[in-house]
């Protein structure tokens, strides 16, 4: 057949593979240098006006050479990231990534497999990762799991399975309209707001989430939890799930997971653990006792881009009874039939265990990182982060200008700069301004919260690059900025 009269066919492959490889090699080299020299740069700087303006251009109709596009990346993107790869970034709860995991992401993009299902090696890699975490967290062989984007999706998956498993009607057919009683979820008032979102997304409504008060250590009050469950049953509601916190985002508190497990067993409730931060304490020989009881959960949500230091995105859900997990999500179609041979074969299709059919190969960087470093090293780093925060705690408590605002038992610490005989209202304004100036100085990035009406500087340490000297630098700068602000307030 003659094709001479037809338009020339195109591809996205480069015309010059050698030139493309040269630019790619430069990218890898530049990023290695970027990571290696991170300590010499400011922790954070805001995007420049020129950078922001650069991203307001019209859509390009014709392309540029790759090296020209890369030049724009170096000028307008590379200098202005979140900052969480820096040794003195302790804002929110963010890990740092690593150079080898960065390369794993490149490899995953290169082979570009779809992790939804089928007879391809990615499914075996993800299943291996899940088996490792089942073993590490004390889950049975029949448990299931799914690698997801992060804690928000991991919690949504776990709570979706809980809703399915505990419904006394055909939930997938009838939806929540099939329930004769409002289905109720319980968590402490310190639970992460992704659980609030999950309850709303599941169609239960915010009134179905009971936020139970906490004790002086910011742990859920078990007596009040039990009392609320009894009261709700008496009022014709249907309690079905309790969320336990393995390290709360605000203060680093850990709920009594064993006590919650006992209560859930007694009341026939689903026990879900939000271990987005603290599940990784299971890797620490010194601190794993803190989360005792997590191994009794019906489901666990945890992040790997937090306290396993992987690049975004990487999270996971484990479900004790894999059949519940499968039945909550599986859906069949002729065009997705699971075959015994060929490209559509495969024992497990992960699309049957979550929301997404199209899924990237996140499991590769998890597998490669564990293989490269070994799980014991990750355990030592978790221990190191906790003890660095205990070092910071001693610095705060020994300085008369600073006040500890929560117990800080783990890797999260909340404190503030104080002025004698000054109202909380004034000190809140001062500490907020102090934090903003601290960010803008480029020295360090903690974040913030409010505890009992007091504005707190909040340090969350999931940073494998931090050293004790970095916390000395933080305290020194906080005192310097606080003294400057105190003088400014005195002059007003």
β-pairing verdict for 454-460 and 299-303: unpaired
Q: In terms of DSSP H, where are the helices of 360-458?
A: 363-373, 375-397, 424-441
Q: What's the confidence (pLDDT) of residue 34?
A: 97
Distances (CA, A) of 184 to 14, 166, 199, 201, 224: 56, 11, 9, 14, 15
Q: What is the pLDDT of residues 187-211, one digit of tens each?
A: 999 999 999 999 999 999 999 999 9
The pLDDT of residue 346: 84
Question: Other CB atoms closer than 10 Å to residue 333's CB: what's the count?
Answer: 7
pLDDT in tens, 407-421: 999 999 999 999 988
Neighbours of 97 (CB within 10 A): 21
**What pLDDT shows up at residue 177?**
87
pLDDT grade, residue 1 (50/70/90)?
A: low
Q: Quick check: helix, strand or coil at residue 88?
A: coil
8 A C-beta contact, residue 144 and residue 353: yes
Does an H or E element contain 160, and which?
Answer: helix 151-166
Q: What are the Cα distances from residue 267, in Å, to 225, 292, 385?
A: 12, 20, 37
How far is it, in rounded angstroms, from Cα 359 to Cα 108?
11
Distance CA 249, CA 411 (A): 10
Q: Which two tokens stand for residue 268?
A: 């026939």
Percent of the chain exceeding pLDDT 90 equals 92
CA distance 301 to 162: 13
Model confidence pLDDT, tens digit, residues 232-251 = 999 999 999 999 999 999 99
User: Which residue is associated with the tokens 């073993």?
Assistant: 135
Q: Which of 79, 73, 68 is nearest to 55 (CA)?
A: 73
As a whole number of angstroms, the distance between CA 113 and CA 327 comes to: 25
Model pLDDT, residue 489: 84
- Asked whether the beta carbons of 171 and 146 are under 8 A apart, the reply is no
Report the pLDDT value the prediction gives residue 8, as an integer from 0 to 100.
Answer: 86
CA pair distance 204, 419, nearest whole angstrom: 46
Give the model's pLDDT for residue 2.
Answer: 67
Question: pLDDT per residue over 250-308, tens digit each?
Answer: 999 999 999 999 999 999 999 999 999 999 999 999 999 999 999 999 999 999 999 99
Tokens of residue 159, six digits: 């709570």
Q: Buried (b) or exposed (e) across 147-166, using 16+ Cβ within 10 A? A: bbbbbbbbbbbbbbbbbbbb
The length of the chain, given as a count of residues: 492
**Averaged pLDDT, 91-120:** 95
Residue 491 has what pLDDT?
Answer: 74
Nearest CA among 262, 233, 246, 278 for reference residue 461: 278
Average pLDDT along the chain: 96
Omega prior to 66 cis, within 30 of 0: no
pLDDT level of residue 324 (50, 70, 90 thresholds): very high
For 35-55, the pLDDT digits (tens) are: 999 999 999 999 999 999 999
Burial of 41 per CB tally in 10 Å (0-12, 13-18, 19+): middle
């Amino acid at each position: 057949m003659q094709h001479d009269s037809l338009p020339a066919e195109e591809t996205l492959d480069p015309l010059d593979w050698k030139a493309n490889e040269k630019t790619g090699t430069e990218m890898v080299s530049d990023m290695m240098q970027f990571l290696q020299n991170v300590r010499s740069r400011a922790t954070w700087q805001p995007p420049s006006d020129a950078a922001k303006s650069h991203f307001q251009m019209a859509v390009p109709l014709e392309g540029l050479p790759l090296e020209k596009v890369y030049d724009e990346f170096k000028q307008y993107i590379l200098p202005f990231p979140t900052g969480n790869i820096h040794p003195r970034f302790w804002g929110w709860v963010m890990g740092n990534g690593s150079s080898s995991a960065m390369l794993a992401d490149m490899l995953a993009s290169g082979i570009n497999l779809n992790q939804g299902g089928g007879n391809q090696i990615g499914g075996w890699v993800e299943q291996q990762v899940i088996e490792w975490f089942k073993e590490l967290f004390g889950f049975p062989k029949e448990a299931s799991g799914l690698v997801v984007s992060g804690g928000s999706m991991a919690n949504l998956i776990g709570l979706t399975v809980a809703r399915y498993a505990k419904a006394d009607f055909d939930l997938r057919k009838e939806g929540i309209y099939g329930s004769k009683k409002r289905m109720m979820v319980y968590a402490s008032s310190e639970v992460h707001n992704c659980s609030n979102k999950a309850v709303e997304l599941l169609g239960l409504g915010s009134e179905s989430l009971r936020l139970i008060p906490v004790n002086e250590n910011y742990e859920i009050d078990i007596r009040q939890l039990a009392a609320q469950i009894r009261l709700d049953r008496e009022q014709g509601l249907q309690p079905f799930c309790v969320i336990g916190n393995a390290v709360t985002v605000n203060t680093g508190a850990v709920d009594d997971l064993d006590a919650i497990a006992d209560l859930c067993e007694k009341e026939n409730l689903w026990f879900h653990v939000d271990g987005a931060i603290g599940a990784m304490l299971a890797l620490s020989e010194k601190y794993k006792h803190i989360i005792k009881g997590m191994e009794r959960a019906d489901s666990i949500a945890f992040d790997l881009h937090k306290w396993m230091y992987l690049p975004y995105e990487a999270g996971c859900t484990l479900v004790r009874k894999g059949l519940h997990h499968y039945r909550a999500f599986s859906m069949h179609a002729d065009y997705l039939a699971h075959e015994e041979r060929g490209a559509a074969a495969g024992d497990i299709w992960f699309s049957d265990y979550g929301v997404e059919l199209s899924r990237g190969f996140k499991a590769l960087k998890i597998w490669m990182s564990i293989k490269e470093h070994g799980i014991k090293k990750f355990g030592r780093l978790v221990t190191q982060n906790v003890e660095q925060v205990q070092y910071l705690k001693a610095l705060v408590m020994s300085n008369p200008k600073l006040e500890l605002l929560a117990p800080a038992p783990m890797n999260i610490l909340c404190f503030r700069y104080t002025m004698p005989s000054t109202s909380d209202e004034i000190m809140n304004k001062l500490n907020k301004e102090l934090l903003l100036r601290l960010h803008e100085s480029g020295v360090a990035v903690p974040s913030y919260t409010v505890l009992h009406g007091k504005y707190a500087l909040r340090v969350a340490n999931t940073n494998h690059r931090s050293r004790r000297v970095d916390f000395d630098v933080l305290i020194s700068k906080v005192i310097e900025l606080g003294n400057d602000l105190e003088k400014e307030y005195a002059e007003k």
